[in-house]
Structure 1
Amino acid sequence: MESKRQQKVASLLQQELAAVFQRDLPHLFPGLAPGISTVRVSPDLGIARVYLSLLLVGDGQAMLEQVRDSSKEIRLALAKRIRQQLRVVPALSFFLDDSAAYAAHMDQVFGGLTIPAASTDAPTEEDESPKPTPPRPRLFADEDE
């Protein structure tokens, strides 16, 4: 579980990285900028794991390699934006977020299932009658019922 400080830093990094991709470094990613789905920060705030959502990009792995190759430039642009909030800019590790693709796959799997219809048999009167309670055990010999 992340501490509140980790969550705040992760949120700040997510917002600022999105701004870096869209405003500061659009020339690195012509056409489409990668979306940032999640940022996870280590407890010492030294490493940030950035999960990129590359749904609209044709070849996600190639775009991920391009982002990893320009990670120094991205970190420098990020440092310029957050220098007032953090002392040290965390090292950035980029990963592909495939949760949307996984969700689409699961939708396809669930859509292909054939579920038989439930039986429409009405319950009989025997099933609705209350069951008799078993007799209570006697603990003492002089106990009356």
Structure 2
Amino acid sequence: MNESNRQKKVAQIIQEDFAELFRKQAAESKQTFLVSVSDVKVTADLSIAKIYLSIFPAEYRKTIMKEILVNKASYRNYMGQKMGKQVRIIPELNFYLDTTLDDVEQIERELKGEGDNPIL
């Protein structure tokens, strides 16, 4: 099932707005961490947005994800202010941790023989 142009447009707006928000939050924080929005998928009826986040360094992941989930309502409110004119309903926001880069890194280590893969 292909995404409609409308879905892609809404997903892009969400991705850009959250990238900006997380960049500001990281800058205001005393810690050095990076939260990037790796992907956003929006359901066909635009009611749910799945937001995939990469968080570095890894030791901050649990804390940051917990904080994001606690603040879900205020993030949705933020999106309402940002995109209220463009959509009738503000999608429900679901956040997921994206570990794709970790997986790639692990595979690269294994291929170099640095992992503990018994086959190599």
TM-score range, shorter-chain basis? Answer: 0.7 to 0.9
The amino acid across from 2:44 in the alignment is P
- The TM-score normalised by the length of structure 1 is 0.68
Indicate conservation of the 8 Å contact 1:20/1:78, yes or no.
Answer: no
What are the residue-to-residue correspondences of 1:84-95 with 2, within 5 Å?
Answer: 84-95=85-96
1:54-83 CA-to-partner distances (Å, cap 9, x unmatched) read 023523122111100111111111211111
How much does 1:14 deviate?
Answer: 0.4
Indicate conservation of the 8 Å contact 1:14/1:39, yes or no.
Answer: yes
Partner Cα separation in structure 2 for residue 19 and residue 53 of structure 1: 14
Residue in structure 1 matched with residue 41 of structure 2 by the alignment: 40
- Stretches of structure 1 that go unaligned for 5 or more consecutive residues are 114-145
Residue in structure 1 matched with residue 118 of structure 2 by the alignment: none
Partner Cα separation in structure 2 for residue 102 and residue 52 of structure 1: 14
How much does 1:2 deviate?
Answer: 1.5
The amino acid across from 2:86 in the alignment is Q
Indicate conservation of the 8 Å contact 1:16/1:82, yes or no.
Answer: no
1:18-72 CA-to-partner distances (Å, cap 9, x unmatched) read 223334xx28x82345211100001110000000110235231221111001111
Larger radius of gyration: 1
Taking only aligned residues, the RMSD between alpha carbons, in angstroms, comes to: 2.0
Residue in structure 2 matched with residue 5 of structure 1 by the alignment: 6
Change over 3 Å in CA distance of 1:33–1:81 after alignment to 2: farther
Identity of aligned residues (%): 26
Partner Cα separation in structure 2 for residue 41 and residue 85 of structure 1: 15
**Count of aligned pairs between the two proteins:** 110
- SS of 2:6's equivalent in the other structure is helix
Work out whether 1:64 is the aligned partner of 2:65.
Answer: yes
- Stretches of structure 2 that go unaligned for 5 or more consecutive residues are 115-120
